[in-house]
Every structure is written in structure tokens, then in C-alpha cells.
Amino acid sequence: MTTTLITGGNKGLGFESARQLAALGHTVYLGARDESRGRTAADELGVRFVQLDVTDQASVDAAIETITTEAGVLDVLINNAGILGRRSTPAEVEASDLEHVYATNVFGVVRLTHAALPLLEKSGNPIIVNVSSGLGALAEAADPTSFAAQFPALTYGSSKSALLMITIQYARALPAMRINAIDPGYTATDFNGHEGTQTVEEGAEAIVTFATIDQSGPTGTFQNKDGIVAW
């Protein structure tokens, strides 16, 4: 039995990934910050609900306590919850914009990962999937002809760059775990007003792939559904 926790599971890529992983037989804990939306989503999928706001230490601690009591182990942690923040040009960005977005996309990932590590260490095949973005890739951003270069993304892009470095650092320090960052690709969800060009099924592909690798799989990599993404 594989026990999996996914953040931001009530909609979008998190919901679809939870659906696919449950279909593969995982015992899924669907984390959502809003109790009502989270329970409704979990009930629809027939998975477990856990209240989880990654910006709130008490919420994170309670969620991990619940999984500890009920399952005693965590095999897969999917850090999926993320926000875009205010749309603005780099010149308009204020420090408070970064504080707001980093609270979820960066500090939230570290808060939850730190709390979850003791439970992951009880697994025979511990896995962390960090949902980053092509907008976080420095190689893309530095190329003026790239898709990413069309989007001003000082706040969001830099938060996802930080997540890439966080992934490398955890992967190097924790070689018994498979820890990878993925780019789901531009996917139609509420996140982008459904302007994304992929379906959620396509967007969830890399999340599910890296949530289901075994110990022979890669760690410390950044990948999309087609393979390695340049940092």
C-alpha cells in the first residue's frame, strides 16, 4: 500500500493527480486549505481529506499528526499547492508581492517537507514531487526567444526557481529519497483562467510519473512529461 499526500488537491492539477493516483491504488490524502471544498473533492474521488494550509504551521502539524495516527507512514509527498500572485511588470513588483507568493510556493513547501520528513523516512520508497514551472527555469528565462520569456514573472518565476534549488538541496542531503521537481506544462486550470493549452490529464502526467517511480528512478532532477528540463 502506498500512502500519498498532495497539497492543493481540491481542484486543478492537484485534484487530477489525486484522481489518477487513487486509480493506481494509492491511499491518497487530499490536502486542501478550505475544509468544505476539500471534503467535497475528496468525497468525489473516494479519497481521504486532510485540512492543510501550507502557510499555517498549526495546520501542517495537524495534517501530519492525522497521517501519522491513521497510516503511520508517508510514501509520497506532492508539493503541488501554488499561487501566481498579482499580475505586474517587474518595475511594479513590491517586496510584499514576493512575501505573499513565497509564503505558499517556497516557505510552504519547506514547512510541510520539514514536518513530513520523519514520516517519509518510515517508507521503503520515499518520494517527494515538487511542482515547479518552466517559468522558474533560469535557462528558459535567460533566452529571449523562449516561451517563458514572453511572461513577466519576477515574483512567481523566482518562487519556482527557488523551489528548483530547494529540490536539489533536499535531493543531495537525502539520497534514500527520490526527490524531483516537475513542470506540468501550460495547463488549463483556474490558475491561468483556463488559458493553458493542455488538459489537466496531460498536466498531471509528470506529477503522476514522478510520484510512482521506484528506488532505481532519478533524484535531484527537473523534468516535464517529455523528459529533462534545463535548469
Binding site residues, ligand NAP, CB under 6 A: 7-8, 10-14, 32-34, 37, 52-55, 80-83, 104, 108, 131, 133, 183-184, 186-187, 189-192, 196
Cβ nearer to ligand NAP, comparing 93 with 131: 131
Cβ 116 to ligand NAP shortest distance, Å: 14
- Cell, residue 19: 484522481
Residue type, 80: N
Q: How far is CA 190 from CA 77, 195, 200, in A?
A: 23, 9, 11
Nearer to ligand NAP, 117 or 151 (CB): 151
CB of 181 to ligand NAP, least distance (A): 10
Would you say 192 or 215 has its CB closer to ligand NAP?
192
Nearest alpha-carbon partner for 54 in 70, 26, 78: 78
Place of cell 495537524: 62
Active site residues: 156, 160
Give 122 or 165: the residue with its C-beta nearer to ligand NAP. Answer: 165
Closest approach of ligand NAP to the CB of residue 191, in Å: 3
CB of 16 to ligand NAP, least distance (A): 8
Cell of residue 150, nine digits: 514572453
Nearest to 75 by CA among 122, 32, 40, 126: 126
Which residues have C-beta within 8 Å of that of residue 56, sequence separation ≥ 6? 33
> Is residue 105 within 8 Å of residue 156, measured between CB atoms?
yes
- The sheet carrying 127-131 orders its strands as 48-51, 27-32, 3-6, 76-79, 127-131, 178-182, 222-224, 227-228
Residue 70 CA to residue 65 CA, distance in Å, equals: 9
Angle between helices 107-120 and 57-70 (to 10 degrees): 20
To the nearest whole angstrom, how small is the minimum distance from the Cβ of residue 189 to ligand NAP?
3
**Comparison of 34 and 92: residue with beta carbon closer to ligand NAP:** 34
